[in-house]
Structures are given as structure tokens and as C-alpha cells.
Amino acid sequence: MRRKTIDYLIDFQCPQCGAPATLAETDRLVTCAFCRVKSYLISSGVFHYCFSPKTPPEKPLIYFPYWRFKGMGFACTSVGVINRFFDISHQAAASIYFPPNVGFRSQALKLSFVTREIEGQFIEPSIPVSTMMEGAAARMKKNARTGVLHNAFIGDTTSLIYSPFYVKGKVYDAILNKAGPQPESGFNIDALKLNQPEWGIRFLPTLCPSCGWDLDGDRDAFVLICKNCNTAWKPAKDGLKKISLACIPEKKDDNPVYLPFWKITAKIDGIGLENYADFIRVANLPKVVREGMEKRRFYFWSLGFKMRPRTFLTVSSSVTGAQLEDKVVSGLPEGRIAAVNLPAEEAVQSLLPILAQFLHPREGLDSILPKISIHPKHALLVYVPFSEKHHELVHKKIPLAVNKNQLRLASNL
């Protein structure tokens, strides 16, 4: 079944030369087609977008805010982890005069970034984004055959979208020029708080802070790579920050493809899981605990890019389950690498769903899982080698194959 998702396009102007461009919602690294200047898009908080009215209305515009979430949802239950892809929106201010969500809008309709120049009255968001996520959790609970013990959401996009309306007796949608179902009268804008959004996007130059070389990355990359001085950089509010980077090197002749994983160290409370021997016990793995296993620290391995939720969890769990012993060396591998489009801050949301896949016996999960709390301490970006086969990438030691089609899909999710 085809997932119902919307990929909005965003009207954009090159910060250098002003040339118009169209971005995907997930685009961060923007290369201008005219002046070729590359810049990285950052925002204070979530991205704020707005729709434009179809025709210039005679009435003043009111912009109503909606939260939008697009990404993976997981629900841990005593019989397994269920997953679902979400593309949802929800009122960010409470009003019965406006539609409950953004609704289906044609993809031809573009968004633009909210700027001070946009005329109209902006209604201030007063409902937290968590309200929308509670609704998403409730939907997963409905699908689960049993109680949900934990929910996790990994965002692809969490944004605020302002949609234009105007008042002509009733509240009219300024894109459809139609009034939705609402009470006959009584709309009073003074009941809602107005506030021109104090929000802006910023652009970071994409030159390596260490050597001045041009950094590399995909359009939706969250990690930029310097192939000159072998470093990795994470865009942050106050500029590019260096991150630890490593790989499990493979012979060049094998022409491996390296997939990025976040190797995460965490303090795990409530279950006594610190090392490999603990892991064998809590996961009831068919392995004998041998001497020295207590000295091997337990790590989570969470995939560094977006995939379908089921695949994402399978791949992350397989590599975590293997607790790879291969030598990890710092720096980039020599060979083809896949881009990181899932930041460590989002990847840590997957830790409990990954762990829940392993916990045994399942019967005790109802009481065990709610007691577990995971505190991530450190994330190391590690490129893990896979061998390329006709349709898939396979790991040499773990029974794990990643469909190449899904990899290409990954950037459109």
C-alpha cells in the first residue's frame, strides 16, 4: 500500500544572489544553480513555513498555525515493537473556527519561509507540539493488540505551518476561498493571541572550519564531511561543530559501501545493562557468558539515515545485537559512503525500541519496560562496511541485507 504522505516544496531565494529556487522540506545543504554558492540552512527552533493565498484577498489575512510531523513512530508492546510512518498536522492554537489540521493540499501548492515581510495577523501557537504527538501515540495504541509500554517518534520533519484565512462573516480558507464547517457566528479574533513570529533562517558557509576546504554532503545531510582533512561537522546554532568520526575499514579491493551508524554509549537504568555479558543475559541470547565479556561495554548501534520504520529498526537491532568486535579506527573510510540524514539527537529516540526487541522473557515486559530509562552519553559516527550484491548490501558477518532500492528511497522518506 502506498503511504499517504505529502512532500511540500518550498520557495526559496539564494542568500547570495537572490536567484529563486525550490527546495524540498528536508533540504538543508543548498547549492544555488546560478551563483553555485553552497550554504547550509539552519533555524532557531523548528522551521516556520506559510502557505500563500490563491488570489490576493480584499480582506486582511489571518495566519493560523499548525504543527506538522513527518517521520517514524514506534510503540513497544509486550508482544513486539510496532511501527508506523506518520505524516500528520494538528492545530497549534485551539479554535473551533479553523480546520483541525492542514488537510490535504495539492502538492503544487508551495510553502515559503515565514519572514517579517509577510502581511497579515499571525495567531500565536499556544498548544505544544507534544499534544500532536500524544494524538499519534493514541493512534498507535489503537493499532496495537495489547497495551503500549513506550512510544518513540523519530522526526524527519517537525515544523510549524501557517495557513491563510480571512473573515467574511465566517472564517474562510484563503487558498480554497471556502468556509469550512464552523459555528454560524461568534468568531472573535481577540479571543486568540496574535504575534508576528520572531523567527528566521540563517545560512552557514560550508567551508571546513579546520582547513577551509569545501564540505561535502547530500541535500538533506545532517553531517558534512571534509574529504581534505578527514573530519566531520555538525551544523549548530553557533556554527559548525566537529564531531567524532570513525570507521571499520575494509579492503579496498572489495569495493565496500559504508553505511553510517551512531554508536551510542548510554547509561541504562532499571535493568542492569552495562556490558556484553549483561546483554547476553537480558536478551537471553544462545551464547555462553565467557570471561572478558564483562569488560566489553554494551553499545547501541542506531542507523544514521532514514529508512522505512520497519527496516530502520531491523537494521539498527541487527547491528546492536551483533555488538561488533571489529577494530574501529578514527576518520573516514576509503570508499563509497552513504550520507547521514538522521542526527544523533533524533537517533537516540530509537534506543528503547531497539532494546525492547531483545528483552526476554516477553511475559515480564509489562513490568520491566516501564522501569527502564536510557540516558545517552556519547555518540560516535561509525561507517560500517557492507558488500554490494545485485539488489542489496550485505554485511559480511551479521545476517543482514539492506535493499538498495530502499536506500535510494531513503532520501525521499
Binding site for Zn ion (CB under 5 A): 14, 16-17, 19, 32, 34-35, 208, 210-211, 213, 226, 228-229
| Least distance (Å) between residue 37 CB and Zn ion | 5
Sheet-wide strand order for 201-205: 29-31, 38-43, 201-205
**Minimum distance from CB of 50 to Zn ion (Å)?**
23
Asked if residues 198 and 205 have their Cβ atoms less than 8 Å apart, the reply is no
Nearer CB in complex with Zn ion: 199/203? 203
- Joined grid coordinates for residue 405: 532500492
Minimal distance, residue 331 CB to Zn ion, in Å: 12
CB distance 61 to 54 below 8 Å: no
Give me the sheet containing 231-236, strands edge to edge: 224-226, 231-236, 239-243
Q: Which is nearer to Zn ion, 38 or 395 (CB)?
A: 38
34 or 96: whose CB is closer to Zn ion? Answer: 34
Q: What Å distances lie between residue 354 and 167, 180, 334, 335, 357, CA to CA?
A: 49, 43, 29, 29, 5
Instruction: Output the smallest distance, CB 17 to Zn ion, in A.
Output: 3
The minimum distance between CB 14 and Zn ion, in angstroms, equals 3
Please report, for residues 37, 93, 181, 193, 342, the alpha-carbon distance to residue 67 in angstroms, rounded to integers and kept in the order given: 32, 9, 21, 17, 20
* Beta-ladder partners of 245: 381
- For residue 403, give the 3-state DSSP assignment: strand
Write down the least CB distance from residue 167 to Zn ion, Å.
Answer: 39
Cα–Cα dist 24/154, whole Å: 19
CA distances from 231 to 270, 329, 366, 383 (A): 37, 13, 44, 13
Is the CB of 50 or the CB of 226 nearer to Zn ion? Answer: 226
Pairing of strands 239-243, 373-388: unpaired
Nearer to Zn ion, 201 or 293 (CB): 201
Between 330 and 373, whose beta carbon lies closer to Zn ion? 330
* Residue closer to Zn ion (CB basis): 34 or 297: 34
CB of residue 19 to Zn ion, shortest distance in Å: 5
